[in-house]
């Protein structure tokens, strides 16, 4: 039973370490009017990592 509990704790901790965050800064502007775009989805090229602008 102890081995099962230790395995579950290890699995949970290892996934939390992989879920790290980074800060992306910049401005997304519209091509037509040059104004900032609110709620645009930004995707890191070649990955599934993305976020939306505020």
**φ, ψ at 34 (rounded to 5°):** 75, 10
Residue 33: per-residue pLDDT:
93
Question: What pLDDT, in 10s, does the model give residues 3-41?
Answer: 888 888 887 776 666 666 778 888 999 999 999 999 999
Q: Which residues pair with 49 in a beta bridge?
A: none
**Of the candidates 36, 16, 17, the residue with the CA atom closest to the CA atom of residue 28:** 36
Whole-model pTM: value is: 0.47
Residue 22: per-residue pLDDT:
77
- Based on C-alpha coordinates, what's the Rg of the chain? 19
**Of the candidates 6, 26, 10, 27, the residue with the CA atom closest to the CA atom of residue 18:** 10
């Amino acid at each position: 039973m102890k081995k099962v509990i230790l395995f579950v704790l290890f699995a949970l901790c290892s996934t939390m370490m992989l879920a790290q965050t980074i800060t992306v800064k910049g401005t997304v502007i519209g091509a037509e009017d040059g104004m900032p775009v609110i709620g645009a989805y930004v995707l890191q090229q070649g990955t599934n990592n993305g976020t939306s602008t505020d």
